[in-house]
Each structure stands twice: as structure tokens, then as C-alpha cells.
Amino acid sequence: MPDTTKLIENLVEKYGKKRESLLPILKGIIEEERYLSEERMLEVAKALDISGAEVYGTASFYSFIDLKPRGKHIIRVCKTIVCDMKGKNEVIKTIKDCLGIDVGETTTDGMFTLLQTNCIGQCDHAPAMLIDGEVYNELNAEKVRNIIKEYKLNRQN
Amino acid sequence: MASQVKRAEIIFAPYSEYPYKILGEALKKSPDEIIEALIQSGLRGRGGAGFPTGLKWKFAKEAQGDEKYVVCNADEGEPGTFKDRDILVKVPRKMLSGMGICAHVIGAKKGFIYLRAEYDYLKEALQKEIDFFHQHCEKYGLDFHVEIKSGAGAYVVGEETALLNSAEGKRGEPRNKPPFPVTEGYLNKPTVVNNVETFVNAMMVCRIGAEEFAKYGMRGQKGSKLFSIAGDTTKPGVYELELGLTVEELVNEFGDGNTKAVQVGGVSGFCVPRAKFKDKTIGFPGKDDVNYIPTGGSIMLFNHTRSMYHVLENYLEFFEEESCGQCTPCRVGTQQLLKGIKAIKKGEKDPEYLDTLYKLAETMKVTSKCGLGQSVANSFCSIVDEFKEEIIY
């Protein structure tokens, strides 16, 4: 676990101590810790000299800023109409089977969180999902199993 | 059958000159000359709302302010749209040229690209292109700096004032208009916010001239448009077609032979049933012209195997989640519409209840603060009008 005070200091230095820097700073924390805890929000508020409510208000608005602890890898499966038509349910079911978790849950080893998301702009290659921001599209059960396997293997190495 | 669709090749046309040649040439022209060309070309914003680009730039140029901003809206979140993604990957230089030309016209020194979080994976390559762009700005003596601002997952931020709030590090809630961004935009400074494709088109007007640009388009529409084609189609993808084609022409080209309905303009657009394919033209409507349907480019095809109830339910779930919650008609309206159609389907409410929901959607259209709440009625009413039985039984 990196030193978070240092992390926030670095982020503030990188983006500047101004209101416009709030989102990039929050995203920077998410990148390191996968979610935004109450403590981090207060630390950021202090660093930018704004109220904690301002930070929480902004953070809670955005779906990619999680306020609950998440796994190391966050899987976001697109559930909007085209992906839904092209087999999103099968993708979800396959991931559930592979990882033994439901949508919204995190594996007990803290490696994966399964979420659904709205349109990610891959409708021409539906169904699609994001894992930590990487796009995986034209999915089917076999492809999904292989992707998950790959992620699990990388963990061991 | 021979293709009836008129393809255009402006946006993805191969770039034969050396990089940023057009930018260099445009910078030698006066701002007024460029504004005049844009107005002559008939170019209207490609994000969906269709505001005349030349006028927008003119207002921002005339606005008083020591600092001005050029903002590229790459928060492409409308379901069924992915054409900006292709521009960002394939022809980012054309887009950046458009931003540079805009900076020259309005007198801006700073600009940013607001890139949706779902496209974070494009960021690295785009940043390299921006660095390359800056080298050319320096070469041409254009004092203009562009950065990327990343989104964090919110559909409503595609609305320009919500985008500006988000860029300022706030909740991405739409602002009251007026004031419009051209006078009070980013940090309350005069700002041009244009869609990715609009900047490319503005650059193309400078390249081929207003007259040549205006030759593209049918049935009174000007220019070409990128369409994102998805759903039940044999060839999903991004296509550049002349504006003003009918839904029928589109279906003949892209349908799978069994097309039952086409959603034009994403979930905030309109659903067109087969019986009306012939009558509906894709383009910006004139006054009270119900037969023209504007679109930011999203075209979703549904074939006879699809339940329109399921489609509508999926749309409403989307709206309910993405409503920013700021105004009551949209926040509560989206929840009640979703709850309502589920209750009718389950038989917990009488079929007549659908009329009440219909009125609610119409009320949202006139009372919601921004385009999100106002446009829920577009898809809701068009699906209910045409597929009432499927919604009820």
C-alpha cells in the first residue's frame, strides 16, 4: 500500500491546488486504491482547502468513482440496449460462474469486482466490457472465460 | 438491389498533404473570413442539437473577455454512438486542426478535450497527438495549448454546461441557460464547446471551401454526417453518409431483412416503425417539420425478434440511472415511467395507466431543465405510439 498522504501531495502538486483539479486528483486516488474512502475525501478536502461535503458531492456524482471498497480488477459489463441484445446476460453469467460472485460483489481474495455500466461506445462490437479501463469486445462465454483465466494467471506470476 | 445510400468521404478521407497544412493556411485568413465560410457552408453542430457552428464561433469571438476557451466535447455517451471514438483514433489531427482554427477565430489561448472515462484507453495515443499538434502551433506562431480532461462516468455531462461544471471539478449538473457558454463558459469565460465531429467538419470547410462542402447533403440538408450503425444489422460500424437520407434508404443498406423499427438519435431520439421508414428523413428539422429527425449519429436497428417492451424498459433504466437528480420532473419522472410500465406489464395497473404515463412524459418535456429530461418523451412516446400492444400485453 503506497503512502497515501504522499500520494495526495503528489497529485495536488501535479494538477495544482485549485478547484478544477478535484476530479483528476480523485481519479488518481482511484487508480491507486480502486475506491475513495471517507478518510481520503477528507484529506483531499484539506489539501484543496474546500469542504468535505464538496468533495463527497462531486465524488458521489460519478459512476467511475467508487465509494465502496473494490477489488484489484474492476469489471464493468455494458448493459445498455445493444450489448443487452447481443448477449450481455451470457457474459454476466459466465463471469459469475468463473468468479463465484454476483453483480456488485467482490471476490473474497479481493481480486475482482463485478459491476454493470451504461453504454461504453462499443456497440459495433457488442457485447463489450471494461476491465480497469481496458476494452474487451465481441464477447462470448469462451472468450470471457479465457480473459478471466488470463487475469488470474497474471496474479500468480 | 443497388445501394441507394450516398456515401461521402470527407472525414476519413486520406490526408494527402503534410500534417497541419490546412491549419497553417487557415491561420493566414482573418477570423471574419473563416466565420463567413462556416456560415455559408451551413454547418450545424454534429453532437445532435445542431446549432449553426459559424454563429457559435461568431458569438464567442464578439464576447468580451481577456481569456477564452476552446472545448472539444468527446463525452460521447449517447447509447448507440461511437463515431467520435473512430475520429479520435483515426483522424485526431483533423479534429485538433479544427480546434486550432477555432482558437485563432475567437482569440483563445487555451483549450481542452473532455474525454469520457470509458475512453480512458485512448488517452495515451491522443496525448502524443496533442504534443505533435503543439509543435505545429509553435511553428505557425499560434499561441494555443490543449490538454485532456478526463470524465468519470456520467452521461449527462455530454450536455455542454454540465461538461463545463465537470471540467471545473464540480458535480456534472447542467447550468441554467442563458448565459450561454459563448459568453460565460469554462470558469465563466467565453467558451466554444463543439463536438469532436464538428471540429473536423469546420476544418474540412476550410480545406474544401464552403461551396463544395454544401454540395453534400440531400433534401435541403448540408454536409455529410458520421453514423454509428449498430443493433440488428449485417454490418455494424461507422459510416460517413450524406445528410438527408430517409430511414428506408438506411434500412435497405444496413438492415438484416427483418427490420421492425429503427431508433434514430439514441435513447434520447425517436423510434421509427417499419410503416414510417419511407416518410422519415434523417436531418435537422425546419420549423414544425415532424418528418425530419435529427441525430448525433446513433442508429440502432431492431428486428422482429425484439420485444419493444424490453427495449423501452432498457432505455428507462438508463435514463433513471443517468438523470442527475437536480430537477424534479426528470428525477422523479424517469423513476415513475419505469415503475409504471413494469406495473402495467405485471397487470398491477390497468392498461389505461399508460395514458397517465404518456402525459407525464409530455410534462417532462416542457418542465425538465436540460436535454436529458426533455428528451425522455421522444423515445417513450414514439415507442408507446407505435407499439402500444407490446408495452401492455
Looking at chain B from residue 134 to 163, which residues have their Cβ under 8 Å from any Cβ of chain A?
149-155
Which residue on chain B is closest to A22 by alpha carbon?
B169
In B160-308, the DSSP E strands lie at 191-195, 224-231, 237-242, 259-264, 270-273, 281-282, 292-293, 298-303
CATH entry 3.40.50 includes domain A4-61: no
In 3D space, the residue among B95, B83, B123, B73 whose CA is nearest the CA of residue B22 turns out to be: B95
Distance from CA of A54 to the nearest CA of B (A): 8
Range(s) for CATH 3.40.50.11540 in chain B? 21-215
- In A, which residues are within 8 Å of B228 by CB distance? 123-124
Find which of A15, A36, A61 to mutate to test the B interface (most B CBs within 10 Å of its CB).
A61
pLDDT above 60 for B305: yes
Flag whether the pTM goes above 0.90.
yes
**Chain B residues in contact with A82 (beta carbon < 8 A):** 79-80, 230-231, 300
Average pLDDT over residues A30-36: 95
Is 90 exceeded by the pLDDT of residue B8?
A: no
Among the listed ranges A40-54, A83-97, B218-232, B313-327, which one has the minimum average pLDDT value?
B218-232
Q: How many residues does chain A have?
A: 157
A interface with B, Cβ–Cβ < 8 A, is 18-24, 26-27, 57-58, 61-65, 79-82, 84-85, 117-126, 130, 133-135
**ipTM strictly over 0.90?**
yes
pLDDT score at B284: 86
Q: Is A123 within 8 Å of B300 when comparing Cβ atoms? A: yes
- B130/B146 Cα distance (integer angstroms): 7
Residues 309-348 on B with a CB inside 8 Å of A are 311, 314-315, 317-318, 321-322, 324
Calculate the average pLDDT of chain B.
95
Is the pLDDT at B364 greater than 50? The verdict is: yes
Across the range B50-71, mean pLDDT stands at 97
At residue A1, does pLDDT exceed 70? no
Q: Mean pLDDT, to the nearest integer, of A128-135? A: 97
Q: What is the pLDDT of residue A157?
A: 56
pLDDT in tens, B277-286: 999 999 888 7
Q: What cell was used for A143?
A: 472468450
Q: Residue B223: its pLDDT value, please?
A: 86
**Does B351 touch chain A if contact means CB atoms closer than 8 Å?**
no
What pLDDT sits at residue B295? 86
What does the pLDDT average to over B170-176? Answer: 96
Q: Are B321 and B335 in contact (CB under 8 A)?
A: no
Q: For residue B112, which phi and psi values (nearest 5 degrees)?
A: -150, 155
> What residues does each domain of chain A span?
4-61, 73-156
- Report whether pLDDT(B2) > 60: no
Residue, of B48 and B202, whose pLDDT is higher: B202
Burial category of B18 from C-beta neighbours within 10 Å (exposed 0-12, middle 13-18, buried 19 and up): exposed
- Among A14, A49, A85, A125, the strongest candidate for a mutation testing the B interface, having the largest count of B CBs within 10 A, is A85
Angle between helices B308-322 and B328-346 (to 10 degrees): 150
DSSP-assigned beta bridge partners for residue A76:
A115, A130
Is the pLDDT score of A4 beyond 90? no
How far apart CA B266 and CA B299 sit, in angstroms, is 7
> What is the chain A residue with the closest CA to B78?
A119
User: How many other C-beta atoms are found inside a 10 Å radius of the C-beta of residue B159?
Assistant: 27
Average pLDDT over residues B145-162: 97
Report pLDDT digits (tens) over A72-130.
Answer: 999 999 999 999 999 999 999 999 999 999 999 999 999 999 999 999 999 999 999 99
**Are the Cβ atoms of A62 and B152 closer than 8 angstroms?**
yes
User: How is domain B224-303 classified at the architecture level of CATH?
Assistant: Roll (3.10)
Enter the CATH code of domain B308-392: 1.20.1440.230
* B21-215: CATH topology: Rossmann fold (3.40.50)
Domain with CATH 3.10.20.600 in chain B: 224-303
Rounded to the nearest angstrom, the minimum Cα separation between A18 and chain B is 9
Option in A57, A79, A121 nearest B119 (CB): A121
B261 to chain A, closest Cα gap in Å? 14
Q: What is the pLDDT of residue A2?
A: 54
CA atoms of B332 and B365, how far apart (whole Å): 13
- B257-300: pLDDT as tens digits: 999 999 999 999 999 999 999 999 998 887 667 789 988 899 99
**pLDDT more than 90, % of chain B:** 88
Q: Which regions of chain B carry the CATH code 1.20.1440.230?
A: 308-392
Query: What's the rounded Cα separation, in Å, for the pair A26 and B122?
Result: 20
CB contact under 8 A, B82 and A20: no
Q: Are B266 and B382 in contact (CB under 8 A)?
A: no
Which pLDDT does position B1 carry in this prediction?
Answer: 47
Residues A35-76 have pLDDT tens digits of 999 999 999 999 999 999 999 999 999 999 999 999 999 999
Class of the domain covering A73-156? alpha beta
